[in-house]
Amino acid sequence: MSGSTLALGRNPLYQAFRARSCSSIRANISTRPLVLRSFTISPYPKPALNPIRTFSLGYKLPVISHSVRLVSTDSTHRRPSSTSSTANNANRSAPLLALAPSPPIRDIETPDPSKGTITKAVLYAWYYCRFLFYGVTLSWQERKLVNEVRRRVNHGGLPYDWRESLMEVRVRSDWRKMIPFVVIAAVIEEIVPLLILLAPTLIPSTVLLPTQSFSVRQKQETRRHDARSVLYARLQEVKADKSDKNALDLGWNGNNWVNWEDEDMKKLLRAYDLGTRSPSRSYLESRVYNHVSFLESDDKLLIGRPPTAGLTLSEFQKALGDRGLLCLDLPASSLPGVLDRYLEARRSNPRFHPFVYLVNDIDRHQPAQDAAREKKRMREKDEREREMSENGGYYGWRAKVRRWALKTVGGNK
């Protein structure tokens, strides 16, 4: 090191300038918010923040006490809270689930409309890459949080809460998809947008855009509705053919689902949004057994929730979808009543079986749901025909491209 460099390092003016620059950089990093899809980077935990996903890139997670549970108004944001609100669970006579306000959904940043087309494309690509990076980082932070909760339970602390159990299932599913996603992103990063667009169910939930998450739920709801319609038709056949002993033993009015035919069982699994591909009947039965055990434990956690604890709209949709009940076409205000009726039947009937409840729900509500779905389909058809008449026979994204092209050509003229 030269003498001039050493002299500059000993200069008090240079040292003061360096200290001031470093402090300003630290203050800028710690105070400037980074807008992400559904979370912000901030020290964990911070109860004053909005109920959105929060994590810190370099922040060490706090040690969770055995007497503290992670609770919040949203499944993706948790903060330590005392157990005083859970002390009256045993004295509660019936489940009471309210609709809590949903957290703000934060998408990727939108480029400034005043900028040029190439600049906006570059900025959008940069924002999207940053969104994917923070999604992978968020999945890692959630994994560490789940490990802390599991360590608390294993050391004799409080048992799992419903949101904690839901978060563990989601993180386990995300990490089965995370390693292939990261490998593809590192080796062939050009096909990542194509993979996210064409196969959103094969990537972790933390890197999905809100529109893609809603599209996935819509497809699941459509498959569930189609399966329920087939089961309803099969139920009418069983009711009409009372002389058939085999039909009476199908288990429609009891728990004897083992005697169901393979096609009926596949439709039942599809109503629960479970896989139907299997080399033998035993694999189908194992999926049924596993889902029954999952619903039993999940129902106990939901019934044991505090009376004042509410669920967000997405949590209600998740809970109802796991039980094979339709929810996307229902108003948000009616979802708590649907789930409360299910939990009340579970609590009051010791011989309750989720499949029997699903069959009874199909028998009571499927005709009205089919009529509502047909009405919605006809309304969408009319809107599509009107859009096609206004855009020269195109609709959807093709109509948008046509309008953009006409606007661009007209502007150039």
Identify the bridge partners of residue 77 per DSSP, sorted by sequence position.
74
Distance CA 47, CA 168 (A): 22
H/E stretch holding 238 reads helix 210-240
Q: Express each pLDDT in 138-181 by its tens digit.
A: 888 889 999 999 999 999 888 888 888 888 999 998 888 888 88
The domain locations on the chain are 1-32, 39-82+89-208, 221-366
Check pLDDT > 80 for residue 339: yes
Band (pLDDT 50/70/90 cuts) for residue 105 is low
State residue 103's pLDDT score: 62
Check pLDDT > 60 for residue 269: yes
Who's near 76: CB < 8 A, 6+ residues apart?
Answer: 38, 39, 52, 53, 103, 142, 167
- When comparing pLDDT for 334 and 48, which is higher? 334
Band (pLDDT 50/70/90 cuts) for residue 32 is very low
Strands (E) located in 254-298: none
- When comparing pLDDT for 220 and 93, which is higher? 220
Band (pLDDT 50/70/90 cuts) for residue 8 is very low
Token reading at 274: 């479970």
Token reading at 212: 């893609």
Band (pLDDT 50/70/90 cuts) for residue 19 is low
State residue 16's pLDDT score: 52
State the pTM of this model.
0.66
Band (pLDDT 50/70/90 cuts) for residue 95 is very low
Contact 301, 165 (CB under 8 A): yes
Q: Express each pLDDT in 51-91 by its tens digit.
A: 333 333 333 344 444 444 444 333 333 333 333 333 344 33
State residue 151's pLDDT score: 92
Token reading at 131: 């969104």
Distances (CA, A) of 117 to 78, 109, 111, 112, 131: 40, 16, 10, 10, 21
State residue 261's pLDDT score: 76
State residue 161's pLDDT score: 86
| Averaged pLDDT of the chain | 71
Check pLDDT > 60 for residue 11: no
- When comparing pLDDT for 79 and 133, which is higher? 133
Q: What percent of the chain has pLDDT over 70?
A: 67
Contact 194, 203 (CB under 8 A): no
Q: Examine residue 45 and say whether the peptide bond preceding it is cis (omega within 30 degrees of 0).
A: yes
Q: Express each pLDDT in 287-331 by its tens digit.
A: 888 888 899 899 988 888 765 567 888 888 888 989 989 888 888
Range 99-104 average pLDDT: 65
